[in-house]
Structures are given as C-alpha cells and as structure tokens.
Amino acid sequence: MVDRDAQAKSLIHAKLVQSRRELRSILDPLPGEDGDSQAPRQGHGGFPRSRTMQMLLSGRGLGTLGALAGGLLIARPALALRLLRFIPASAVAKMLMAKAVSALKSNPEP
C-alpha cells in the first residue's frame, strides 16, 4: 500500500513539474521576442520586478491608467478625489519631472 502511494505521489510530482515547465514557456517570453522596446528590461535587482508593474509603467500602461483615472473622475468625481488623497504627491511629481526632463533631452531643439 505504501509503495502504491509513493508511486502515485511521484507520478503527480512529475506531472506538476511538466505543467510548470509548460506554463513557464508560455508565460515567460524570450528576451527580444516582445516588440515593446519601451518596457523596462531589468533583472531581479531592478524596479519593477513584476511583469504587472512593468506593464503598468510602460507607455501603453500609463495611457491605460490615465484613461481609467479620467473615466473615474468624470463618472464619480467625489470618489476620484477621495482616492487621489492616497497618492503620494511628491513621488508622482518626481516621476513627472523625470519624464519631462528626459523628453526635453531626447528632442533636440530646431
């Protein structure tokens, strides 16, 4: 009976390992495979580490968040203003200033 349980557990473990390998191959794109060159490609030591945060901080993600915030502001202004108090203004201001400076540096004056 113990031998059958051990065999069943090892079979389940092998199937789990195989399914994890398949999921990783599907979900983790190879470097350079994705066409979005603006997304940050940093290792485990850099920010952001999660793929969700990388997507949100990319150009398309910021546009999506802006559209969502605009829609919320139009639909429910009181709720949007209440939620706005939770956002750290200094961090957002620093991020916007950094983007503005980098945009000015990248566009040469005529």
Domain assignment of residue 103, yes or no: yes
Domain assignment of residue 106, yes or no: yes
Domain assignment of residue 35, yes or no: no
In this prediction, residues 54-58 reach a mean pLDDT of 78
63 in Cβ contact with 70 (< 8 Å)? no
Domain assignment of residue 25, yes or no: no
Q: Model confidence at 46, in pLDDT bands (50, 70, 90)?
A: low
Domain count, the chain: 1
From 62, 25, 58, select the one nearest 40 (Cα to Cα): 58
Return the exposure string of 41-75: e unless at least 16 CB atoms fall within 10 Å of the residue's CB, then b.
eeeeeeeeeeeeebeebbeebeeeeeeeeeeeeee
- pLDDT for res 74: 94
Measured CA angle at 95 (ends 58, 85), to 5 deg: 105
Q: For residue 83, give its domain range.
A: 59-110
Q: Model confidence over 15-45: pLDDT tens digits?
A: 999 999 888 887 776 665 555 544 445 444 5
Supply the pTM of this predicted model: 0.39
Measured CA angle at 64 (ends 74, 89), to 5 deg: 70
Domain assignment of residue 63, yes or no: yes
Contacts of 40 (CB under 8 A, 6+ apart): 46, 48, 54, 57, 58
Q: What count of Cα atoms within 13 Å lies in the side-chain half-sphere of residue 37? A: 0
Query: How far is the CA of 49 from the CAs of 12, 36, 41, in angstroms?
Result: 31, 17, 9
